[in-house]
Chains A and B, each alone.
Chain A
Amino acid sequence: MSTGNTTKFTLSRALNEGLRRSLEKDPKVMIMGEDVGKLGGVFRVTDGLQKDFGEHRVVDTPLAESGIIGTAIGLALRGYRPVCEIQFDGFVFPATDQIISQLAKMRYRSKGQLTLPVTIRIPFGGGIGAVEHHSESPEVFFAHTAGLRVVACGDPADAYTMIQQSIECDDPVVFLEPKRRYWDKTDVDTSARVEDALPLHKARVVAEGSDVTLLTYGPLVRTCLEAAEAAREDDRRSIEVVDLRSLSPLDMETITVSVAKTGRCVVAHEAPVYVGLGAEIAARVTEQCFYHLEAPVLRVGGFATPYPASRLEDHYLPDLDRILDGVDRTFGF
């Protein structure tokens, strides 16, 4: 239960507070990654944690992503709960062998005798004017891998609880942080118990509406909320925005309840549309809500190109207008 101890936190600070709670609560929790110690991470998410919890629990590792995940697996086999930071989305790929071939499958291979409660934090998505490999959305590689759970937080309040839930989860979790929202500030109730929070696998209706369902996650949650606001004022159109939060497994229940109500569905993500999460959602919504649909499920997202140079990223990233264009098109059927 909450006692109403609410503070305004940036998303980065909310994650920091969440990590701090987890470190306090369970002595087996540890943080490892590049520059997570003295520097506090390049986005300051682990700021001050090494000072308070020591170098054995907040570990600056050699600069090797596969090494980070591989040793985290070993630590987890020994009973630890490592939280690994991958500095940027585009740097996760050297670790994908350890993530996909080892981390994801260990429980299955061992017939349930081994569990690997490893959390992998990845700042993801674009919009910060970065050089290449710093703006990618690799979620679908992990969502496609059985044995992993994939979640994305969209605001500071969720960041605070979801990181703690991910660490407590006995399955490996890929935890995606919307890097261009690190500096967004909202109220976070730090006295709220994690046990009372919305379960990690559940989606959340973040804006109610009746005309069309807009599904999204991570950095586009705010954009979609702004789009819904604009549509209400300008077009008198009522958009229901659903923050998926969990990308694997998908909370189809929340999705289908909403689509059955509105009859229309648009999925928005920064990742390329082609073979993206939207494709899976469109297929499932079509199967499960066929007779409720007034229009095909439409997708708004990144293009089938590599992430462009940052002077072009405003064109590449779905913004309010492109999302509303998708919404408009769904009314054209």
Chain B
Amino acid sequence: MTVELIQLLTPEGERVDNPEYPLDDVDIKGLYRDMVLVRRVDTEAISLQRQGELGIWASLLGQEAAQIGSGRALSQRDMAFPSYREHGVAWCRGLDPMKLLELFRGVSHGGWDPEEHKFHLYTIVIGDQTLHATGYAMGIQRDGAEDEAVIAYFGDGATSQGDVSEAFNFASVFNAPVVFFCQNNQWAISESNERQTRVPIYQRADGFGFSGVRVDGNDVLACYAVTRKALKAAREGQGPTLIEAFTYRMGAHTTTDDPTRYRVASELETWKLKDPIERVKSYLARTGEADAAFFEQVETEADELGKHIREACRAMPDPEPLSIFDNVYTGANAIVDAERAQFGAYLEQFEEAAR
């Protein structure tokens, strides 16, 4: 079984040309900046969790290229359906990182406007969003909108879920304009790839009747080019594509996890040599496309972003108790409304007693 990997920038920072994936208009410095900044968001969030400011955080460390590359390949009108680790894609969609922190702090379940950012809410139940993405793409078909496509993000573990297979099948049967973007970060919490699949993930697309491609998930240029091509095909009515971004979760599954229990340290060391940010930095420095001032400026920007995140997170107020009852239904609901009134009166007693 031959396994092909699309790579346009080697871990050493050497450009590789591939006529199928031309890179004419890409802003490599911009991609570098994005990756550095989202890594900083991630680092700050982990610290905030350690300090008790966040309940939990799902780190994207190591997956910056997969997320920024694919995220920047989206047009403004394309719709993204994330899992819960797509902080880099959120960044590309213009979502304030504080909105993500809201969720992990426990202030809300997300609560951003998905249509405003063309970025759906995070989905925690593994794989569910792949069907939503497919349905949304079916809606695009019905609208006759030829300049829109959908991208669904999920991980290697999700490929074991029935919903993901159903999404592949619905998308194929209806020829829906959706790109399935699987970040294979090698680990589903403690379970390795071997426990999820006996074939390379991208090859699964064959069985569903559409094409699959494996891309170096730590190569931001390849992720960008491959995703852009798949989205274009989707918009042009050529149906779905499965992209397997072959990457590595360099951190823990979440801040509650301890990867030393199930994987060896040398594995991480190997992947560190393939760091998605370092190779772009090498390329930019070596070719002279960026100078020291540029790298310094990005660092300064990252420091400012980090400071903002720390301050804004600590300043985030808890929601009002009675907001528990908001937005369960669109209108009045006798059962919920009665409970709201009862609980409100109950709380009122304490306020009266305190007066």
Residues of A that sit less than 8 Å from B by CB? 30, 56, 61-62, 64, 66-67, 69-80, 94, 97-98, 101-102, 105-115, 146-147, 149, 169-171, 201, 248-253
Contacts and interface: CB of A to CB of B under 8 A. Distances in A.
Contacts, number: 143
Interface residues of B, number: 44
A98 B135 contact: no
A255 to B, nearest CB: 11
A149 B173 CA distance: 31
A110 B111 contact: yes
Nearest to B142: A56
Interface stretch (B52-60, B218-226, B331-339): B331-339
Given A75-B138, A78-B135, A78-B136, A70 B111 contact: no
A98 to B, nearest CB: 7
A74 B138 contact: yes
B51 interface: no
Interface string B101-129: 00000001111111100001101010010
Tell me which of A67, A75, A113 has the highest count of chain B C-beta atoms within 10 A of its own C-beta: A67
Contacts of B329: 107, 147, 149, 171
Interface of B: 108-115, 120-121, 123, 125, 128, 130-143, 162-163, 166-167, 169-170, 173, 326-331, 333-336
A77 B132 contact: yes
A102 B132 contact: yes
Contacts of A169: 330
Contact of B134 (A74, A107, A112): A74
Contacts of B162: 66, 94
A74 B114 contact: no
Given A70-B131, A109-B111, A62 B136 contact: no
Given A109-B109, A114-B114, A71 B134 contact: yes
B114 A77 contact: yes
B330 A170 contact: yes
A264 B327 CA distance: 36
B133 A74 contact: yes
A78 B166 contact: no
A147 B135 CA distance: 21
B139 A64 contact: no
Contacts of B141: 56
Nearest to A104: B328
A61 B170 contact: yes
A80 B142 CA distance: 10
9 contacts: A71-B167, A74-B138, A102-B125, A110-B109, A111-B327, A170-B330, A249-B334, A250-B335, A252-B334
Shortest 4 CB-CB contacts between residues of A and residues of B: A74-B135, A70-B131, A78-B139, A71-B135
Contacts of B142: 30, 56, 75, 80
Tell me which of A30, A78, A94, A108 has the highest count of chain B C-beta atoms within 10 A of its own C-beta: A78
B149 to A, nearest CB: 13
A110 B135 contact: no
Contact of B143 (A78, A101, A114): A78
A146 B110 contact: no
Contacts of A114: 114, 121
Contacts of A70: 128, 130-132, 134-135, 163, 166-167
A72 B137 CA distance: 11
A323 to B, nearest CB: 26
B336 A146 contact: yes
Contacts of B128: 70, 97-98, 101-102
B84 to A, nearest CB: 12
Nearest to A113: B113
A252 B128 CA distance: 35
Contacts of A147: 328-329
Contacts of B326: 108, 111-112
